Chain A
Protein backbone atom coordinates (compact mmCIF):
# COMPACT_ATOMS: atom_id res chain seq x y z
CA UNK A 1 0.00 0.00 0.00
CA UNK A 2 1.58 3.23 -1.11
CA UNK A 3 1.56 6.26 1.11
CA UNK A 4 -0.70 9.13 0.22
CA UNK A 5 1.10 12.41 -0.22
CA UNK A 6 -1.39 15.22 -0.13
CA UNK A 7 1.21 17.95 0.17
CA UNK A 8 4.50 17.04 -1.53
CA UNK A 9 5.81 20.59 -1.07
CA UNK A 10 5.80 20.09 2.69
CA UNK A 11 8.29 17.22 2.32
CA UNK A 12 10.64 19.54 0.44
CA UNK A 13 10.27 22.25 3.05
CA UNK A 14 10.98 19.64 5.71
CA UNK A 15 14.41 18.98 4.18
CA UNK A 16 15.05 22.73 4.38
CA UNK A 17 14.02 22.77 8.04
CA UNK A 18 16.30 19.80 8.71
CA UNK A 19 19.24 21.45 6.97
CA UNK A 20 18.79 24.77 8.76
CA UNK A 21 18.49 23.16 12.17
CA UNK A 22 21.67 21.16 11.52
CA UNK A 23 23.35 24.42 10.50
CA UNK A 24 22.17 25.95 13.77
CA UNK A 25 23.74 22.99 15.62
CA UNK A 26 27.06 23.68 13.91
CA UNK A 27 26.88 27.41 14.73
CA UNK A 28 26.02 26.63 18.36
CA UNK A 29 29.03 24.32 18.47
CA UNK A 30 31.26 27.08 17.08
CA UNK A 31 30.03 29.58 19.67
CA UNK A 32 30.39 27.05 22.49
CA UNK A 33 33.97 26.31 21.43
CA UNK A 34 35.02 29.91 20.84
CA UNK A 35 37.58 29.64 23.67
CA UNK A 36 38.53 25.99 23.26
CA UNK A 37 42.27 25.51 23.05
CA UNK A 38 42.09 21.72 23.08
CA UNK A 39 39.96 20.56 20.19
CA UNK A 40 40.13 17.31 18.26
CA UNK A 41 43.57 15.59 18.12
CA UNK A 42 44.83 17.99 20.80
CA UNK A 43 45.06 20.99 18.46
CA UNK A 44 43.14 24.22 18.81
CA UNK A 45 39.45 24.10 17.85
CA UNK A 46 38.74 24.97 14.22
CA UNK A 47 35.57 26.74 13.21
CA UNK A 48 33.15 24.48 11.31
CA UNK A 49 31.20 25.38 8.22
CA UNK A 50 28.28 23.56 6.57
CA UNK A 51 27.94 22.74 2.89
CA UNK A 52 24.44 22.33 1.51
CA UNK A 53 23.68 20.40 -1.67
CA UNK A 54 20.52 19.97 -3.70
CA UNK A 55 19.11 16.50 -3.15
CA UNK A 56 18.85 14.43 -6.28
CA UNK A 57 16.15 11.88 -6.86
CA UNK A 58 17.84 8.53 -6.43
CA UNK A 59 15.41 6.60 -8.58
CA UNK A 60 14.15 7.51 -12.00
CA UNK A 61 11.02 5.56 -12.68
CA UNK A 62 10.15 3.99 -16.00
CA UNK A 63 7.31 6.40 -16.64
CA UNK A 64 9.66 9.33 -16.17
CA UNK A 65 7.08 10.97 -13.95
CA UNK A 66 9.27 10.91 -10.85
CA UNK A 67 9.20 14.18 -9.00
CA UNK A 68 12.69 15.62 -9.45
CA UNK A 69 12.38 18.20 -6.68
CA UNK A 70 13.86 16.62 -3.60
CA UNK A 71 14.89 19.59 -1.49
CA UNK A 72 18.21 20.19 0.18
CA UNK A 73 20.61 18.15 2.26
CA UNK A 74 23.57 18.89 4.47
CA UNK A 75 26.35 17.36 2.44
CA UNK A 76 29.39 18.02 4.57
CA UNK A 77 30.64 19.79 7.66
CA UNK A 78 34.07 21.19 6.86
CA UNK A 79 36.66 22.97 8.97
CA UNK A 80 37.40 26.64 8.38
CA UNK A 81 41.09 26.79 7.40
CA UNK A 82 41.69 30.40 8.42
CA UNK A 83 44.66 30.77 10.78
CA UNK A 84 43.95 30.69 14.54
CA UNK A 85 44.38 33.81 16.65
CA UNK A 86 47.54 34.17 18.75
CA UNK A 87 47.15 35.60 22.22
CA UNK A 88 49.97 36.35 24.66
CA UNK A 89 49.23 34.50 27.88
CA UNK A 90 52.40 33.06 29.37
CA UNK A 91 50.74 31.47 32.40
CA UNK A 92 48.47 29.24 30.33
CA UNK A 93 49.35 25.51 30.25
CA UNK A 94 48.86 25.46 26.46
CA UNK A 95 51.21 28.41 25.83
CA UNK A 96 54.25 27.88 23.58
CA UNK A 97 57.84 28.81 24.53
CA UNK A 98 57.20 32.50 23.67
CA UNK A 99 54.13 32.65 25.92
CA UNK A 100 51.55 32.68 23.12
CA UNK A 101 48.47 30.46 22.98
CA UNK A 102 46.53 29.78 19.80
CA UNK A 103 42.84 30.59 20.12
CA UNK A 104 40.13 29.24 17.79
CA UNK A 105 39.42 31.14 14.57
CA UNK A 106 35.84 31.70 15.73
CA UNK A 107 34.58 35.25 15.42
CA UNK A 108 31.50 35.66 17.64
CA UNK A 109 30.17 38.49 15.46
CA UNK A 110 30.32 36.30 12.39
CA UNK A 111 28.55 33.50 14.26
CA UNK A 112 25.79 35.89 15.32
CA UNK A 113 25.19 36.89 11.71
CA UNK A 114 25.19 33.22 10.64
CA UNK A 115 22.74 32.48 13.44
CA UNK A 116 20.37 35.18 12.25
CA UNK A 117 20.65 33.87 8.72
CA UNK A 118 19.91 30.29 9.86
CA UNK A 119 16.95 31.38 11.94
CA UNK A 120 15.51 33.48 9.10
CA UNK A 121 15.94 30.64 6.61
CA UNK A 122 14.22 28.28 9.05
CA UNK A 123 11.40 30.79 9.30
CA UNK A 124 11.14 31.01 5.51
CA UNK A 125 10.81 27.23 5.27
CA UNK A 126 8.16 27.28 7.98
CA UNK A 127 6.27 29.92 6.01
CA UNK A 128 6.39 27.60 2.97
CA UNK A 129 5.02 24.73 5.09
CA UNK A 130 2.23 26.93 6.38
CA UNK A 131 1.36 28.12 2.88
CA UNK A 132 1.27 24.57 1.46
CA UNK A 133 -1.01 23.56 4.27
CA UNK A 134 -3.33 26.49 3.73
CA UNK A 135 -3.45 25.72 -0.02
CA UNK A 136 -4.48 22.14 0.76
CA UNK A 137 -7.17 23.26 3.22
CA UNK A 138 -8.45 25.85 0.77
CA UNK A 139 -8.76 23.15 -1.87
CA UNK A 140 -10.71 21.06 0.63
CA UNK A 141 -13.04 24.00 1.17
CA UNK A 142 -14.35 23.43 -2.36
CA UNK A 143 -16.24 20.47 -0.95
CA UNK A 144 -17.96 22.51 1.72
Chain B
Protein backbone atom coordinates (compact mmCIF):
# COMPACT_ATOMS: atom_id res chain seq x y z
CA UNK B 1 0.00 0.00 0.00
CA UNK B 2 2.95 2.29 0.59
CA UNK B 3 3.96 2.85 -3.02
CA UNK B 4 0.42 4.09 -3.65
CA UNK B 5 0.81 6.59 -0.83
CA UNK B 6 4.06 7.75 -2.34
CA UNK B 7 2.40 8.27 -5.69
CA UNK B 8 -0.33 10.29 -4.07
CA UNK B 9 2.18 12.46 -2.33
CA UNK B 10 3.53 13.41 -5.74
CA UNK B 11 0.00 13.70 -7.10
CA UNK B 12 -0.97 16.15 -4.36
CA UNK B 13 2.10 18.25 -5.03
CA UNK B 14 1.10 18.46 -8.66
CA UNK B 15 -2.48 19.48 -8.03
CA UNK B 16 -2.21 23.20 -8.03
CA UNK B 17 0.38 23.47 -5.33
CA UNK B 18 3.34 23.42 -7.68
CA UNK B 19 6.14 25.88 -6.96
CA UNK B 20 4.98 28.13 -9.81
CA UNK B 21 1.82 28.98 -7.88
CA UNK B 22 3.82 29.38 -4.67
CA UNK B 23 1.17 30.37 -2.15
CA UNK B 24 3.73 30.08 0.63
CA UNK B 25 5.05 33.63 0.65
CA UNK B 26 1.66 35.20 1.16
CA UNK B 27 0.75 32.73 3.92
CA UNK B 28 4.03 33.09 5.72
CA UNK B 29 3.52 36.82 6.06
CA UNK B 30 0.27 36.21 7.92
CA UNK B 31 2.08 33.74 10.20
CA UNK B 32 0.04 30.64 9.34
CA UNK B 33 1.10 27.18 8.25
CA UNK B 34 1.12 26.78 4.46
CA UNK B 35 -1.71 24.60 3.26
CA UNK B 36 0.79 22.51 1.34
CA UNK B 37 2.45 21.55 4.63
CA UNK B 38 -0.89 20.72 6.23
CA UNK B 39 -1.66 18.42 3.34
CA UNK B 40 1.78 16.86 3.36
CA UNK B 41 1.41 16.23 7.09
CA UNK B 42 -1.92 14.50 6.51
CA UNK B 43 -0.43 12.30 3.80
CA UNK B 44 2.48 11.39 6.08
CA UNK B 45 0.15 10.51 8.94
CA UNK B 46 -2.05 8.36 6.71
CA UNK B 47 1.10 6.69 5.45
CA UNK B 48 2.25 5.98 9.01
CA UNK B 49 -1.17 4.44 9.79
CA UNK B 50 -0.78 2.17 6.76
CA UNK B 51 2.70 1.21 7.93
CA UNK B 52 1.34 0.47 11.42
CA UNK B 53 -1.23 -1.83 9.87
CA UNK B 54 1.50 -3.53 7.82
CA UNK B 55 3.58 -4.07 10.97
CA UNK B 56 0.65 -5.62 12.82
CA UNK B 57 -0.08 -7.95 9.90
CA UNK B 58 3.58 -8.98 10.04
CA UNK B 59 3.18 -9.58 13.77
CA UNK B 60 0.19 -11.83 13.13
CA UNK B 61 1.83 -13.96 10.45
CA UNK B 62 5.08 -14.30 12.39
CA UNK B 63 3.17 -15.34 15.50
CA UNK B 64 4.20 -12.39 17.68
CA UNK B 65 0.57 -11.59 18.38
CA UNK B 66 -2.64 -13.60 18.24
CA UNK B 67 -5.09 -10.71 18.45
CA UNK B 68 -6.85 -10.83 15.12
CA UNK B 69 -9.24 -8.06 16.14
CA UNK B 70 -6.48 -5.52 16.79
CA UNK B 71 -4.96 -6.21 13.37
CA UNK B 72 -8.35 -5.91 11.68
CA UNK B 73 -9.08 -2.65 13.51
CA UNK B 74 -5.70 -1.17 12.53
CA UNK B 75 -6.36 -2.07 8.90
CA UNK B 76 -9.83 -0.55 9.09
CA UNK B 77 -8.50 2.66 10.65
CA UNK B 78 -5.84 2.94 7.96
CA UNK B 79 -8.56 2.42 5.35
CA UNK B 80 -10.79 5.16 6.73
CA UNK B 81 -7.85 7.58 7.02
CA UNK B 82 -6.95 6.80 3.42
CA UNK B 83 -10.54 7.43 2.32
CA UNK B 84 -10.49 10.78 4.09
CA UNK B 85 -7.24 11.72 2.39
CA UNK B 86 -8.64 10.65 -0.98
CA UNK B 87 -11.75 12.76 -0.50
CA UNK B 88 -9.68 15.81 0.40
CA UNK B 89 -7.45 15.22 -2.61
CA UNK B 90 -10.47 14.85 -4.90
CA UNK B 91 -12.00 18.05 -3.58
CA UNK B 92 -8.73 19.87 -4.10
CA UNK B 93 -8.31 18.57 -7.62
CA UNK B 94 -11.89 19.49 -8.42
CA UNK B 95 -11.33 23.04 -7.21
CA UNK B 96 -8.11 23.30 -9.19
CA UNK B 97 -9.83 22.10 -12.34
CA UNK B 98 -12.69 24.54 -11.84
CA UNK B 99 -10.18 27.36 -11.59
CA UNK B 100 -8.15 26.18 -14.56
CA UNK B 101 -11.33 26.15 -16.67
CA UNK B 102 -11.79 29.87 -16.03
CA UNK B 103 -10.94 31.78 -19.20
CA UNK B 104 -10.50 35.52 -19.54
Contacts and interface: CB of A to CB of B under 8 A. Distances in A.
Interface of A: 1, 3-4, 6-7, 10, 13-14, 17-18, 21, 126, 129, 133, 136-137, 140, 143-144
Contacts of B46: 4
Interface in B57-90: 67, 69-70, 73, 76-77, 80-81, 83-84, 87-88, 90
B83 A137 contact: yes
Contact of A133 (B69, B80, B87): B80
A129 B87 contact: no
B41 A140 contact: no
A14 B91 contact: no
A1 B41 contact: yes
B44 interface: yes
B-side binding surface: helix, strand, loop or mixed? helix
A15 to B, nearest CB: 10
A-side binding surface: helix, strand, loop or mixed? helix
Interface residues of B, number: 21
A21 B81 contact: no
A6 B77 contact: yes
A13 B77 CA distance: 13
A6 B45 contact: no
A116 B38 CA distance: 48
Given A3-B49, A4-B45, 16 more contacts: A1-B41, A1-B44, A1-B45, A4-B42, A6-B77, A10-B73, A14-B69, A17-B69, A18-B67, A18-B70, A21-B67, A129-B73, A129-B76, A133-B76, A133-B80, A140-B84
A126 B73 CA distance: 10
Nearest to B68: A21
A98 to B, nearest CB: 44
Contacts of A136: 80
Contacts of A3: 45, 48-49
Given A1-B44, A144-B87, A7 B70 contact: no
A101 to B, nearest CB: 35
Please give me the 9 A-B residue pairs with the lowest Cβ-Cβ distance, nearest first.
A143-B87, A17-B69, A4-B45, A136-B80, A14-B73, A6-B80, A140-B83, A140-B87, A10-B73
Contacts of A18: 67, 69-70
Among B44, B67, B91: residue with most chain A CB under 10 A: B67
